[in-house]
Amino acid sequence: MFVHQVDVVPVTTAVGTVLTIRETNTGTRLFQFKNLASSTLSILLEYSADGGSTWSTDVSSFDLPAGDVISKVSTRTEVLRVRVSGATDPQGLMIGYSRTYDDSSYIWSKPTA
């Protein structure tokens, strides 16, 4: 069975790192970003293979104009974080996060109707 979950996290962009996802995952992760600020934001998705001590670029930095929505995909299995710059007001950024993974604990061995 494959499990799919969506978390929507409203955040302000007063700091560089707005979201760190500490779970590791075996499947694809989809991010949807909506800029709620009145100016363009620059967004960077990074991963850490050592639990957060060092970070590398997963998705190259991209600009998100005010009011726009964009989706990005990550196939990394490590810890991820979202970094944002360019904020001029506290409205911030809405982040939708989805993932699909094989969860064998929910597979039925003998289902009945």
Token match 């064998």: residue?
A: 104
Share in percent of the chain as helix, strand, coil (round to 5):
5, 55, 40
Domain 2-106, CATH class in plain words:
mainly beta
What is the DSSP secondary structure assignment for residue 42, as one 8-state letter?
E
pLDDT in tens, 25-49: 667 888 899 888 888 888 999 999 9
DSSP 76-111: --SEEEEEEE---STT-EEEEEEEEEE-GGG--SS-
- Edge-first strand order for the sheet with 93-102 is 2-11, 93-102, 29-35, 69-74
pLDDT in tens, 44-96: 999 999 988 999 999 999 999 999 999 999 988 888 999 888 876 667 788 88
**Domain map of the chain by residue range?**
2-106
pTM recorded for the entire structure = 0.78
The pLDDT assigned to 5 comes to 64
| Distance from C-alpha of 81 to C-alpha of 94, rounded to nearest angstrom | 14
